[in-house]
Amino acid sequence: SRRVRAAAVAVGVLALLALALAAWHWNGALLARGRELLALLSDHAAMQAHQVRLRAAVKDFGPLAPLAFMALQVVQIVVSPLPGELTGLLGGALFGVLPGLAYSTVGLGLGSAAAFFLSRQFRRLIRPWLVRSELYRRLAYLLDHQGLFVIWVFYLLPGFPKDFLCYLLGLSRMPWQVFVVVATVGRIPGTLMLTLQGAKIYEGDWKGLAVVLGITLALSLPAWIWRESIYRWVERHEGHE
């Protein structure tokens, strides 16, 4: 019913505002730790001396540290004040590979769902903003034909505006349960690479970082080079439907 939908929207908006406030309140100090890490990158000896202290300082936040980081991931998708690559690196540096990947995946999944629901509930406000983008013309096909493989490929593409795709698919008939699974799982490979890079930077393992970067480039560079061909393939596919 309309009342139930209105109540759900109100609760969702209030939850998002609370999450944004939490991210703003706690991430000032958390990001300060990240800036401290970046400042040490040019001094390997100093970085080694500060490694234990840096993560110990993050642990001082207790359970609020992961929550603040996940809130940051949600906000960077919905509002996009920070590039997702930066927050992915930060997760690996501050928490390590497995915890960083887990926290990033949860935060990115929640953020993707939030963008999807905002677009679906406030389509009259969101659609004009999306239409102004050249990507809307290229991907409008997805509004009527939600090919799961195509969407999953887009989430795997490096540099593809995945946040835009969350809002775009909110205008489609795609079930939200399907979207959440595809968006969350599709982001994991890229998130894993970023988390590994952040962890290697923190550890000062430059050889390991070079290996991870090499693997990342080998997997992502072809997709980036031929991204225009992928877009044209989608457009041709649209024409055959």
**Alpha-carbon distance 131 to 239, whole Å?**
20
| H helix and E strand count, the chain | 13, 0
| Residues sharing a CB contact under 8 Å with residue 186, sequence separation 6 or more, in sequence order | 151, 152, 154, 155, 156
List, for residues 73-88, the tens digit of each pLDDT value.
888 888 865 667 778 8
Q: Give SS3 for 40.
A: coil
On the question of pLDDT at 121 being above 80, the answer is: yes
Query: Mean pLDDT for the chain?
Result: 75
Lowest-confidence segment of 33-42, 85-94, 159-168, 175-184 by average pLDDT: 33-42
* HSE value, Cβ hemisphere, 13 Å, CA-based, for 108: 27
List, for residues 11-36, the tens digit of each pLDDT value.
555 555 555 555 555 555 555 555 55
Q: What is the DSSP letter of 6?
A: H
